[in-house]
Chains A and B, each alone.
Chain A
């Protein structure tokens, strides 16, 4: 589904990603964890070219998206993304946020888009909020709308960048529950998270990024009980 080969990213002189080679298979759920500043967000953002890699390749469905001339808009439609700070459109209602992509990018009719939108909103438990503006929602509700908005494009992969880090503790669960539901539906997912329990529970694989290196790439059972690298041990000691 997604494969990176020797992916490198530098900001000026700062090497943020160093030769990351890995693969996310169809239907797989991959959790990306590691210390702050380790390059987790940058890695995720390279997968849909929100950051352009300095070197290396990113393949999506066997297409190298780093080659010039690739229709990145088309590829992004197939990769939903959820951000730490939600990034809902504040001047559009909840339903308009969700239907915007289908209407304007996929050119669905308004009626079809709204049917789809309401269906997704009910899946995240927010159909009664369809007509309100995002400023009226709690953080957890905002994030659930953001998930619905991404799903409205009917993507094959979902990328999450710390979807619960900006939330009050009591709202974390409602968002994680929606994500678990998504895992059950068989969605391919890449999730940057600090929720270790959640990562252990849902992920098929853990990617541990430290100082820009992929220090571990292992199933959760092995990673959490028997990490190979020194850095992972130290990290787990701190967070568990």
Chain B
């Protein structure tokens, strides 16, 4: 049903294209649409897994950054500067291509992607989380200290929940960036949305239509995520 409709309107477009002298024919890619849409699952799985691991590791790094034990702080700062100071695509290439060379493990593209993006997103989110922790009123810390609460417990129960709440919008924005950047895994051959668009393009020798289609799907995903985040944020603000 829906596909019929898509096909129909795409034909209209094709006619339009011919009428205006442009060589556009969206109907050509209609049979490939299911194949391309399967990439949505891959892209989403990839984004969600990387975001979660990146968030967990980023939280640990952020706690290192505010630690009074200097070596931990140095490590976390250095780590962040490395991942922020080099291109993401280079990091991906290093992990994908040099893992087999170094430890003899033929790492699958998806795994290489998840590792790279988790490590990279941790570097960025650790800065955001650090900011969130520092923004928590210092009276909270003092209240916990006067109850005799140990530092790790205080972090976990009192400080981090409030920090996360403060920075939720920023974390969602980072996830959105991650969703878009995830298209880079296509360069090592993971069958994500982007890669599938390119495959269709190569098969059919048409570029504009499949790439525009893929772009539209990314756009819808990003807009949906943005919308959900805004609703969520509004609800949380109402609860304050």
Contact = CB atoms under 8 A, between A and B. Distances in A.
B240 A135 contact: yes
A35 to B, nearest CB: 23
B162 interface: yes
Contacts of B143: 81, 83, 87-89, 146, 149
A134 to B, nearest CB: 11
B143 to A, nearest CB: 4
**Chain B residues touching A, majority SS:** helix
Contacts, number: 56
A100 B147 CA distance: 9
A196 interface: no
Contact of B148 (A77, A89, A90): A77
Nearest to B142: A50
Contacts of B145: 50, 76
A81 B146 contact: yes
Interface residues of B, number: 18
Interface residues of A, number: 25
A48 B146 contact: yes
B148 A76 contact: yes
A219 interface: no
Contacts of A81: 142-143, 146
Contacts of B240: 135
Contacts of B147: 76-77, 100-101, 105, 149-150, 153
Interface in A10-32: none
Interface of A: 48, 50, 73-74, 76-77, 79-81, 83, 85, 87-91, 100-101, 104-105, 135, 146, 149-150, 153
Interface of B: 137, 139-140, 142-143, 145-150, 153, 157-158, 161-162, 165, 240
